[in-house]
Amino acid sequence: MKITLNGYYGFSNYGDDLFNLTSVLGAARWWPGHDVDILGPPVHGIDAHFRVPSWFPNELYTAPGLGGKLSRLAFLTGALAARDLLVYAGGSTLSHGSLLKKLQRVAAERGWTKFAAIGVSVGPFSDAADEAEAARFLRQFSYVAVRDQQSLTMLERMRVPYQPVMARDLVGALPLLLPGSFWEEPAPAAPPTLGVSFRFYESHSGGDVERERVRNAALMEGICRHAKRRGTRVRIFCLNTHPRWGDMPLCCELQDRLASEGLFAEIITSDDHLLGCWHSLAACHAVLCVRMHAGITAYLNNVPFALVEYHEKCTDFLDDIGQPSSLRVLADAADPEEVAALIERLLRKEGHPALSPETYALEAAANFTAAPWATPATPRPEAMPVAVR
């Protein structure tokens, strides 16, 4: 079978690139014998067949205007015409009824190709019409594995004609697919390292921009106060480097703020080394993040973390793993001292999620192993290597 993996690919985003990597590795392991490619431009470090050739300008493919939309439409149409199955692989990609979604729904209804989804969130939707359009599309799918309980509830409400699978975030399966041990204990004599990530959300989604400004200011001030008091090293992760939607302005602002206090902080991106970024997050003693997959990376590597609940998907993830209330940050956070105290709790390892990352990883593998086209003789994934902290 000719399978194309589809997602928010090519937009210089760490989480989506991890979806891409996990999908390629998972398909090679659990869907052998199928012809698999990616609907998106090449990602450095991922060995796969990408439908968007390397010579095609990435700036055009990801552009928000007419040129970008026509580019994405052209490559999507090619996949619809040539492939047997399009699999949405990871993320909140089933949340709005765009023109491209409507085209795919028509393709499904007319039998041009088949559709499935793994590791996705369903919703949230902007209005009832948006939800109805998504439901009409999702009823055409042959298989859906979701990453949170809220999405499972949504599909039940939509009365889809199949049994959805609760299989966790797609990246949860990555530790089962990486060779050997991927996490090293930081040197105990070294000062602790705090990994941080920021992002714009309200600014790019028409939300409460003032709330975003106040929250980011409180996070930065809290990080600076803590680092100055404790001598903690700060490692800043810029997990989206897109020139329009990326995080670099916030990362540079925090770096400058720390420098004004005489504190050095490096900025790390995943542009040239996706797994290098994964390893760098895993080597931190604690992680405070707005980017969801900084938190998921920390969780899977047994690193204490706190994730800002700027979006429903973050809350759903934290609810599903049983994150303690003492290690949660609401979207309207505004007190730098509370942020500094939270960092102290993380470094002292006060509390941890109720669901173990080992269990999460094994359940995430079901995204692949429960698919109807998976190899029937696929053995149960072995337990992933876990470092004890």
| Boundaries of every domain in the chain | 2-167+365-369, 193-354
pLDDT of residue 202: 92
Least confident of 99-108, 206-215, 328-337, 343-352: 99-108
Structure tokens at 140: 């055409």
CA distances from 128 to 134, 172, 364 (A): 10, 31, 30
Burial environment of residue 377 by CB neighbours within 10 A (0 to 12, 13 to 18, 19 or more): exposed
Q: Do the beta carbons of residue 308 and residue 250 sit within 8 Å?
A: no
DSSP label of 353: -
Neighbours of 375 (CB within 10 A): 15
pLDDT tens for 261-314 read 999 999 999 987 899 999 999 999 999 999 999 999 999 999 999 999 999 889
pLDDT of residue 386: 35
pLDDT band at 182 (very low <50, low <70, confident <90, very high): very low
* Mean pLDDT (whole number) for 230-254: 94
CA angle, residues 62, 63, 68, in degrees to nearest 5: 85
Buried (b) or exposed (e) across 248-278, using 16+ Cβ within 10 A? bebbeebbebbeeeebebeebbbeeebbebb
* Mean pLDDT (whole number) for 235-240: 97
Question: Domain 193-354 is classified in which CATH homologous superfamily?
Answer: Glycogen Phosphorylase B; (3.40.50.2000)
CATH assignment of 2-167+365-369?
3.40.50.2000
pLDDT tens for 2-30 read 999 998 888 889 999 999 999 999 999 99
pTM for the model stands at 0.90
Cα–Cα distance for residue pair 156/148, rounded to 1 Å: 13
In the chain, pLDDT over 90 holds for what percent of residues?
A: 72
Helix residue ranges per DSSP H, the chain: 14-30, 58-61, 66-82, 99-109, 128-138, 149-158, 174-177, 202-205, 209-230, 248-259, 274-282, 292-300, 312-321, 336-347, 357-364, 366-369
Cα–Cα distance for residue pair 268/70, rounded to 1 Å: 33
Do 2-167+365-369 and 193-354 come out as alike in CATH topology?
yes
Cis before residue 124, ω within 30 degrees of 0? Answer: yes
pLDDT tens for 33-89 read 999 999 999 988 888 999 999 999 988 998 888 898 899 999 999 999 999 999 999
Does the CA dihedral 292-241-236-189 come out positive or negative?
positive
